[in-house]
Each structure stands twice: as structure tokens, then as C-alpha cells.
């Protein structure tokens, strides 16, 4: 096989024995001729290692990296450091990848020298709700080649854009040129990743073809009722995300002028933090996290990035409630 595969799939695995066989079979069904698989076993304690070893014999270019558990960001960074492909992708092991997905994305990426090629997907619910497109076609349709900021503004303005890595492939040299890495230990790290990446990309194309099923498990952590502690953790993760987004906006002022929705998304994610705080029941914990919101300058950041009377009115009502909590 060539020393430079067309595509590197960087696969983070943590206790994935329930999903790995189906996942690897879906990659085999892609019928990719120039692909390398980099599997990062992120400290799994179940039978994942045995399944990985079994499938390693079924691919011609398959690397296994074992490390202590550090989370998905650390695992992706480990894989990215050794990837050799012209393009890289970060599929999740518990989702379904359609047979033609990567060939289709490679087709448009190679033909048009793209920094990012992206497609649509489908939400699949395990509780019986009907499937639906991630990006509704009436909000986002297929594009030609666009500059990254143009696509980002279009996507954010649709109010249906999902900050994810798994619907995309990325030109590896572009990632290396900018030194992009995932933030270790941060949940929803895809939000700052995709924002900065699209602000700097020169050539992006989107095809409205649903080639990936995103499985929403009713029993997953993100879809089960939270506790005060999980709400506090979530609030802190999103505070960090807002700080990162704010830093990104400062680093790329000219691009952000073309993407006013970069300000909107800070205010939008900030409203999510306020919602989490409002649902904390323990008065001492609610007071602690509210004080942190002000001490870290998060409230000021949210307010400064809010645009429009309606959003500022919603935030203004919450300001007095928050001040009452810490008074």
C-alpha cells in the first residue's frame, strides 16, 4: 500500500465492545482502497481490545495505539499525531456509516482540492420516534465550493447546524498547518474545533446527502435526567467552551466580521448555561456556580455577544434572577 493513504480514519475507543463489530463491518463495506485505520484504545476495561485485535487482521493498514483513559479529545490527538493520510476523519464507533460516505466525500474533496468536505446525516432514535435529517434540506442545501467563513455563517444562520467532526473529512496538511488539536478533558469539544477550523478554511463544500446515522440512545448520559453535580459539571464545560469561542473570535477578527453568527452562538450557548443553573436544586451549589459565572466574566461575555432586542430581553430577565441567587 502507498505510504500516503488518501484517508486516515482516527477512531477513539473506550469500552466499545457493544458497537465495534458493527462499526468495523461498516468500514469494510466502504470498499476504500487507500485508507488507514488508526484505532486508539483509550484505556478500555471491557472486551474492546480483543475485538480490535480480531479486526486488525482484516485490514491492510491498521494501527492500534493503547493509552490510559484520557477521553475522546486525547485519543483523537494521539491518532492525529501519527496519521499519514491526505485527508483525516473522526467517526464515532456507536453510529452507522453508509457504504458510500467516505468515497463520496473523497470524490468532492480530491476533485475540488477542499480543506473540508461535509455531508448530511440522520438522527435515529431508539425510543421509536421517527428518524429525521440532521440538517433539514429547507434550511441547508448542497453548495458549491465556499470559503469556510461563508459556509459557517450560512450554517449557523440556519439555526440547525450541529458542531460535529464525524460528518466531515479534513485535509491533513490544512490541520497541520494551523496546528489544530482537540481540547483534552472537555465535553462538546467539537464546538470550538469546528468554529476555528471553518473560520480559517479556504475551500469547503457541503452535499445534502444523508450518509451517516447518528444514534440517540435514550439511556445515554446526555439524554437522561441530570443531577445537581452533572449540571454543575456541564455548566463548567460550557463556560470553558465560551472562553475558547471568545478567544477564537479575538484571534480572527476579520473573519468574524463576515460571520456575525459567531457572536450569536456565544450568547446561545450561554443561555444553555443559565438553563442548567436554573435547574440546580441545592441553594449552596446554585450560589457557587452562579458566583463563578460572574467571577470568570462569563455573564459579561454572554451579554456583550448578544445581538437583537429579543435575545437581550431574555438575558436581561435572567440577570436579576442570577443576582438574587448570590445576594
At 184, which CATH number? 3.90.550.10
Say whether both 187 and 104 belong to one domain: yes
Say whether both 239 and 192 belong to one domain: no
What is the average pLDDT value for the chain, to the nearest integer? 94
**Mean local confidence (pLDDT), 196-217:** 95
Task: Give the model's pLDDT for residue 221.
Answer: 43
Question: How many C-alpha atoms does 124 have within 13 Å on its Cβ side?
Answer: 12
> pLDDT at residue 223 above 60?
no
> pLDDT at residue 218 above 90?
no
Burial state string for 83-92 with b = 16 or more CB within 10 A and e = fewer than 16 = bebbbbbbbb
Say whether both 20 and 160 belong to one domain: yes
**Mean local confidence (pLDDT), 22-32:** 93
Percent share of the chain, pLDDT over 70: 97
In this structure, are residues 50 and 121 in contact, taking their beta carbons and an 8 Å threshold?
Answer: no
Say whether both 204 and 245 belong to one domain: no
Name residue, grid cell 448520559. 221
Q: Indicate whether 173 belongs to any domain.
A: yes
Task: Give the model's pLDDT for residue 225.
Answer: 58
Q: What is the 3-state secondary structure (H, E, C) of 126-147?
A: CCCCCCEECCCCCCCCCCCCEC
Say whether both 207 and 268 belong to one domain: no
Say whether both 45 and 90 belong to one domain: yes
**Mean local confidence (pLDDT), 134-153:** 97
In this structure, are residues 156 and 265 in contact, taking their beta carbons and an 8 Å threshold?
Answer: yes
Q: Indicate whether 298 belongs to any domain.
A: yes
The number of angstroms, rounded, from the C-alpha of 290 to the middle of its chain's C-alpha atoms is 27
**Mean local confidence (pLDDT), 142-160:** 97
Say whether both 158 and 15 belong to one domain: yes
Last residue of some domain: 216, 247, 264? 216
> pLDDT at residue 2 above 50?
no
Domains in the chain, number: 2
Last residue of some domain: 170, 188, 216? 216
Q: Indicate whether 106 belongs to any domain.
A: yes
Q: Indicate whether 91 belongs to any domain.
A: yes
Per-residue confidence at 226, pLDDT binned at 50, 70, 90?
Answer: confident
**Mean local confidence (pLDDT), 222-227:** 63
Task: Give the model's pLDDT for residue 128.
Answer: 86
Say whether both 295 and 167 belong to one domain: no
Q: Which domain holds residue 277?
A: 225-326
**Mean local confidence (pLDDT), 267-280:** 94
Say whether both 166 and 243 belong to one domain: no
Percent share of the chain, pLDDT over 90: 90
Say whether both 178 and 66 belong to one domain: yes
Q: Indicate whether 1 belongs to any domain.
A: no
* Cα separation, 12 vs 37, whole angstroms: 11
Q: Indicate whether 242 belongs to any domain.
A: yes
Say whether both 95 and 153 belong to one domain: yes
- Give the pairing of strands 132-133 and 116-125: antiparallel
**Mean local confidence (pLDDT), 277-281:** 95
Q: What is the 3-state secondary structure (H, E, C) of the chain?
A: CCCCCCEEEEEEECCCCCCHHHHHHHHHCCCCCCEEEEEEEECCCCCHHHHHHHHHCCCCCEEEEEECCCCHHHHHHHHHHHCCCCEEECCCCCCEECCCHHHHHHHHHHHHCCCEEEEEEEEEECCCCCCEECCCCCCCCCCCCECHHHHHHHHHHCCCCCCCCCCEEEEHHHHHHHCCCCCCCCCCCHHHHHHHHHHHCCCEEEEEEEEEEEEECCCCHHHCCCCHHHHHHHHHHHHHHHHHHHHHHHHCHHHHHCCCHHHHHHHHHHHHHHHHHHCCCCHHHHHHHHHHHHHCCHHHHHHHHCCCHHHHHHHHHHHHHHHHHHC
Last residue of some domain: 171, 193, 216? 216
Say whether both 165 and 206 belong to one domain: yes
Please, is 17 exposed, middle or buried when counting C-beta atoms within 10 Å of its C-beta (0-12, 13-18, 19+)? middle
In this structure, are residues 315 and 267 in contact, taking their beta carbons and an 8 Å threshold?
Answer: yes
**Mean local confidence (pLDDT), 220-247:** 86
Task: Give the model's pLDDT for residue 1.
Answer: 40
In this structure, are residues 149 and 259 in contact, taking their beta carbons and an 8 Å threshold?
Answer: yes
Amino acid at each position: 500500500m502507498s505510504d500516503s493513504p488518501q484517508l486516515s480514519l482516527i477512531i477513539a475507543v473506550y469500552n466499545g465492545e457493544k458497537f465495534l463489530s458493527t462499526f468495523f463491518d461498516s468500514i469494510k463495506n466502504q470498499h476504500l482502497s487507500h485508507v488507514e485505520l488508526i484505532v486508539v484504545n483509550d484505556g478500555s476495561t471491557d472486551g474492546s481490545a480483543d475485538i480490535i485485535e480480531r479486526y486488525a487482521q482484516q485490514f491492510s493498514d491498521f494501527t492500534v495505539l493503547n493509552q490510559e483513559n484520557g477521553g475522546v479529545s486525547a485519543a483523537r490527538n494521539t491518532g492525529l499525531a501519527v496519521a499519514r493520510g491526505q485527508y483525516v476523519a473522526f467517526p464515532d464507533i456507536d453510529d452507522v456509516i453508509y457504504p458510500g460516505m467516505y468515497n463520496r466525500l473523497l470524490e468532492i474533496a480530491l476533485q475540488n482540492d477542499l480543506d473540508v468536505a461535509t455531508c448530511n446525516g440522520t438522527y435515529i432514535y431508539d425510543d421509536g420516534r421517527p428518524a429525521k435529517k440532521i440538517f433539514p434540506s429547507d434550511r441547508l442545501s448542497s453548495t458549491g465550493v465556499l470559503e469556510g467563513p461563508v459556509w459557517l455563517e450560512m450554517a449557523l444562520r440556519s439555526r440547525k447546524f450541529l458542531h460535529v467532526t464525524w460528518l466531515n473529512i479534513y485535509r491533513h496538511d490544512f490541520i497541520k498547518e494551523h496546528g489544530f488539536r482537540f481540547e483534552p478533558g472537555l465535553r462538546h469539544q467539537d464546538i470550538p474545533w469546528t468554529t476555528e477550523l471553518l473560520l480559517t478554511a479556504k475551500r469547503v463544500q457541503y452535499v445534502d446527502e444523508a450518509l451517516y446515522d447518528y444514534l440517540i440512545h435514550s439511556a445515554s448520559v446526555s439524554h437522561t435526567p441530570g443531577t445537581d453535580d452533572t449540571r454543575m459539571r456541564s455548566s463548567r464545560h460550557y463556560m470553558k467552551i465560551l472562553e475558547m469561542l471568545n478567544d477564537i473570535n479575538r484571534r480572527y477578527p476579520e473573519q468574524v466580521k463576515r460571520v456575525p453568527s459567531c457572536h450569536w452562538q456565544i450568547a446561545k450557548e450561554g443561555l444553555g448555561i443559565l438553563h442548567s443553573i436554573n435547574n440546580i436544586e441545592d441553594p449552596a451549589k446554585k450560589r457557587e456556580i452562579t458566583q463563578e459565572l460572574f467571577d470568570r466574566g462569563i455573564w459579561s461575555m454572554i451579554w456583550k455577544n448578544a445581538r437583537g432586542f429579543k435575545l437581550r430581553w431574555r438575558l436581561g430577565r435572567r440577570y436579576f434572577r442570577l443576582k438574587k441567587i448570590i445576594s
